[in-house]
């Protein structure tokens, strides 16, 4: 007799018996006095986002001449908002040419642009303006952009940046130098576009050596800036939307815990082009209060021991006066994953969190890997009738996405008397409908995808059904670092390196640390807080989210007085503290808003409501 087989079989049968017993004899409700939520969650319909949804910035902003409103221009808008590049969407060339820097999207061809308009664009460059043309084909324009031929192609798989004065500070690592467009293991993967031949200078090339970004400069003695012409062969708007929505498969080197800035590198390049061509370029920093980057210390609480360990993590973070977000699973059903642990006694834990400046957020009810494949639900799910049951890692019963969102939020709010606005799914299991379902249930902030999958280390606005034409009123804060791929404290130096790489452009480092033990994970948190407490801006997801939403509404306009003084007008929809502007070198702040401080090229604004005017003397 094989004793190992006998013992293993006996354990398996016993485990199955326990599950059957639990399924047939459900536990009594842990909250006998609670029923809810009582309202119906209504999913907002998809509404096409239009150019009019983006109010214009000032004349110093980049003009985007949108030649096809049905194109992926929304990807450019979302990306430019994230990197902080002010832009104005136009449909008339005459409006575009009132700006020094003009981007023509999605294509510039002899068939979609009149000869008169093509000549106006040539004159703009020859008079010191900057022109970025996408998918440039014919129209007598190749010589303006510095190439002889352009051809459409069905797919290319890789972009390699070349070291040039404009790109050299963007490609300090191999991962910045290369952008994958397709999976090398899949010959039929990749993206369509346009490639350029016979080029003078290529900022970047496809894997076959043809150019994807060309550049030609025109030195002009009498103009304030030299003329610049750039031709792009990749639809960056479409690329950004696919990345933000997790629609690429296996393009990043790793799933998480690494620096993967493919989207950000493209955005930074276009920002550099804008700054080169616009003497009055003002950029919005992605991080508050002039800090080098934003760090979100977030904790997943999805295990009995995890919720019991919360006080130790709170005490540590409070000792550094740093807030954190605790994503708490409201587990009230014993099943395959664990025994139930969320009950009335946990109200004291939630109170402890809130009294110490921490955020309480939802981590679902069932914490099932099948969250992405659950039915949407009805929007009527209520505790105690909603009882999801996890049978095994890949099976969950009586569960819905709506139920997970509604009931977890209801229970957390009932026990804490605070509004729950942030959500993270178990296992980062990501449904296509999550963006609009978050909005339907009162959530504003999501942390549901890794930065490597989204190819960005910046927050961004979500879109309906994770598709390309309808934005929703919710934002994603992708996960940068997690603690399950090896001991996190042993990876401390690697994580410091990633954080410093993200700090190159004041990006986001979102750390996901489980509270299931009080050893090396707690030690890591202490080391990270001590190392970066004076360099990073630490906040909760909702705290940074509120700041980000206000920043997302910001409009910038620059004007010049007869005496040469510059005035920046900043307008926001919501109050914001610590909004940070990157201003041109040599500008000196004089007056405007109480509490505003200049640190080199960073201008840290005081508390701003509605609008302010800031005076400078270059």
pLDDT band at residue 7 using 50, 70 and 90 as cut-offs = very low
Handedness of CA 368, 371, 375, 379 (dihedral sign): positive
Q: Are residues 405 and 348 in the same domain?
A: yes
Q: Are residues 472 and 594 in the same domain?
A: no
First to last CA, the chain: 89
Tokens of 19: 């599950």
Q: Are residues 542 and 565 in the same domain?
A: no
Query: Could you tell me if residue 506 is inside a domain?
Result: yes
Cα angle, residue 383 at apex, residues 378 and 384 outer, rounded to 5°: 120
The last residue of one of the domains, among 549, 573, 592, is: 549
Looking at residue 228, which CATH number applies to its domain?
Answer: 3.40.50
| pLDDT digit string, tens, across residues 442-481 | 999 999 999 999 999 999 999 999 999 999 999 999 999 9
Query: Could you tell me if residue 96 is inside a domain?
Result: yes
Structural domain boundaries enclosing 430: 293-549
The whole-number pLDDT of residue 6 equals: 36
Length of the chain: 618
| pLDDT digit string, tens, across residues 185-218 | 887 889 999 999 999 999 999 999 999 999 999 9
- Considering the chain, what is the average pLDDT of its residues? 94
- Give the number of domains in the chain: 3
Nearest to 524 by CA among 487, 484, 480, 485: 487
The last residue of one of the domains, among 227, 262, 284, is: 284
Per-state percent for the chain, helix, strand, coil, to nearest 5: 30, 25, 45
Buried residues in 488-505 as b, exposed as e (16+ CB within 10 A): bbebbeebeebbebbbbb
134, 104 in Cβ contact below 8 A? yes
Determine the 3-state secondary structure of 42 from DSSP.
Answer: coil
Nearest to 431 by CA among 402, 408, 388: 402
Q: Are residues 210 and 252 in the same domain?
A: yes
Query: Could you tell me if residue 87 is inside a domain?
Result: yes
The whole-number pLDDT of residue 272 equals: 97
Q: Are residues 509 and 609 in the same domain?
A: no
Query: Could you tell me if residue 41 is inside a domain?
Result: no
Query: Could you tell me if residue 211 is inside a domain?
Result: yes
Tokens of 581: 């502007």
Choice among 17-31, 313-327, 426-440, 599-613 with the minimum mean pLDDT: 17-31
Determine the 3-state secondary structure of 148 from DSSP.
Answer: coil
Query: Could you tell me if residue 161 is inside a domain?
Result: yes
Judge if pTM exceeds 0.75: yes
Q: Are residues 149 and 180 in the same domain?
A: yes
The whole-number pLDDT of residue 10 equals: 45
| Cβ count within 10 A of residue 52 | 7
Share of the chain above pLDDT 70, in %: 96
Q: Are residues 459 and 414 in the same domain?
A: yes
Write down the residue that tokens 């957390």 correspond to: 412
Q: Are residues 313 and 219 in the same domain?
A: no
106, 161 in Cβ contact below 8 A? no
Looking at residue 360, which CATH number applies to its domain?
Answer: 3.20.20.370
| pLDDT digit string, tens, across residues 525-573 | 999 999 999 999 999 999 999 999 999 999 999 999 888 899 999 999 9
Q: Are residues 68 and 195 in the same domain?
A: yes
Q: Are residues 181 and 329 in the same domain?
A: no
pLDDT band at residue 252 using 50, 70 and 90 as cut-offs = confident
Query: Could you tell me if residue 61 is inside a domain?
Result: yes
Query: Could you tell me if residue 1 is inside a domain?
Result: no
Is the model's pLDDT at 9 over the cut of 90?
no
Is the model's pLDDT at 610 over the cut of 70?
yes
Instruction: Tell me the mean pLDDT in the region 279-296.
Output: 98
pLDDT band at residue 173 using 50, 70 and 90 as cut-offs = confident
pLDDT band at residue 249 using 50, 70 and 90 as cut-offs = confident
Gap between the Cα atoms of 210 and 206, Å rounded: 6
pLDDT band at residue 20 using 50, 70 and 90 as cut-offs = low
The last residue of one of the domains, among 549, 578, 594, is: 549
Q: Are residues 100 and 213 in the same domain?
A: yes
The whole-number pLDDT of residue 3 equals: 32
Nearest to 353 by CA among 298, 395, 398, 408: 298
Q: Are residues 270 and 342 in the same domain?
A: no
């Amino acid at each position: 007799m094989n004793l190992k087989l006998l013992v293993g079989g006996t354990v398996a049968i016993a485990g199955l018996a326990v599950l059957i017993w639990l399924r047939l004899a459900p536990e009594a409700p842990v909250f006998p006095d609670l029923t809810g939520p009582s309202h119906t969650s209504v999913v907002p319909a998809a509404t096409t986002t239009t150019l009019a949804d983006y109010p214009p910035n000032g004349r110093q902003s980049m003009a985007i001449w949108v030649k096809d409103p049905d194109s992926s221009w929304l990807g450019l808008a979302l990306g430019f908002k994230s990197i902080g590049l002010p832009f104005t969407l136009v449909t008339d060339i005459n409006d575009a040419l009132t700006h020094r820097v003009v981007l023509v999207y999605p294509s510039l061809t002899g068939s979609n642009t009149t000869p008169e308009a093509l000549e106006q664009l040539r004159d703009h460059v020859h008079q010191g303006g900057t022109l970025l043309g996408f998918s440039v084909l014919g129209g007598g324009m190749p010589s303006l952009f510095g190439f002889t031929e352009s051809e459409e192609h069905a797919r290319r798989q890789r972009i390699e940046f070349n070291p040039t004065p404009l790109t050299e500070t963007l490609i300090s690592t191999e991962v910045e130098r290369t952008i994958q467009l397709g999976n090398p293991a899949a010959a039929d993967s990749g993206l369509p576009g346009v490639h350029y031949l016979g080029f003078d200078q290529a900022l970047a090339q496809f894997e076959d050596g043809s150019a994807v970004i060309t550049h030609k400069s025109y030195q002009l003695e009498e103009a304030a800036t030299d003329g610049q012409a750039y031709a792009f062969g990749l639809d960056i708007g479409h690329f950004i939307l696919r990345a933000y929505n997790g629609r690429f498969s296996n393009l990043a080197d790793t799933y998480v815990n690494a620096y993967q800035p493919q989207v950000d590198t493209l955005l930074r390049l276009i920002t550099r082009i804008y700054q080169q061509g616009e003497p009055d370029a003002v950029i919005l920093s992605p991080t508050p209060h002039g800090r080098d980057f934003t760090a979100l210390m977030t904790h997943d609480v999805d295990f009995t021991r995890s919720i019991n360990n919360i006080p130790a993590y709170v005490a540590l973070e409070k000792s550094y006066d740093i807030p954190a977000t605790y994503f708490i699973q409201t587990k009230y059903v014993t099943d395959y994953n664990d025994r139930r642990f969320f009950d009335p006694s946990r109200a004291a834990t939630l109170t402890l969190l809130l009294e110490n400046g921490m955020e309480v957020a939802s981590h679902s009810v069932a914490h099932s890997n099948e969250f992405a494949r659950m039915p949407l639900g009805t929007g009527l799910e209520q505790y105690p009738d909603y009882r999801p049951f996890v049978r095994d890692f890949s099976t969950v019963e009586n569960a819905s996405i709506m139920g997970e969102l509604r009931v977890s939020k209801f229970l957390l709010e009932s026990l804490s008397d605070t509004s729950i606005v942030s959500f993270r799914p178990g296992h980062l299991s990501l449904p296509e409908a999550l963006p609009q379902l978050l909005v339907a249930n009162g959530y504003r902030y999501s942390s549901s995808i890794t930065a490597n999958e989204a190819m960005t280390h910046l927050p961004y606005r979500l879109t309906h059904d994770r598709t390309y034409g309808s934005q929703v009123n919710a934002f994603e804060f992708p996960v940068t670092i997690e603690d399950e791929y090896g001991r996190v404290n042993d990876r401390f130096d690697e994580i410091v390196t990633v954080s410093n790489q993200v700090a190159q452009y004041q990006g986001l480092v979102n750390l996901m640390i489980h509270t299931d033990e009080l050893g090396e994970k707690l030690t890591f948190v202490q080391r990270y807080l001590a190392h970066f407490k004076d360099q990073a801006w630490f906040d909760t997801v909702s705290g940074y989210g509120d700041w980000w939403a206000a920043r997302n509404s910001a409009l910038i306009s620059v004007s010049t007085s007869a005496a040469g003084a510059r005035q920046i007008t900043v307008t926001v929809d919501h109050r914001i503290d610590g909004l940070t502007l990157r201003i041109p070198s040599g500008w000196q702040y004089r007056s405007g808003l109480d509490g505003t401080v200049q640190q080199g090229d960073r201008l840290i604004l005081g508390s701003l409501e509605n609008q302010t005017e800031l005076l400078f003397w270059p």
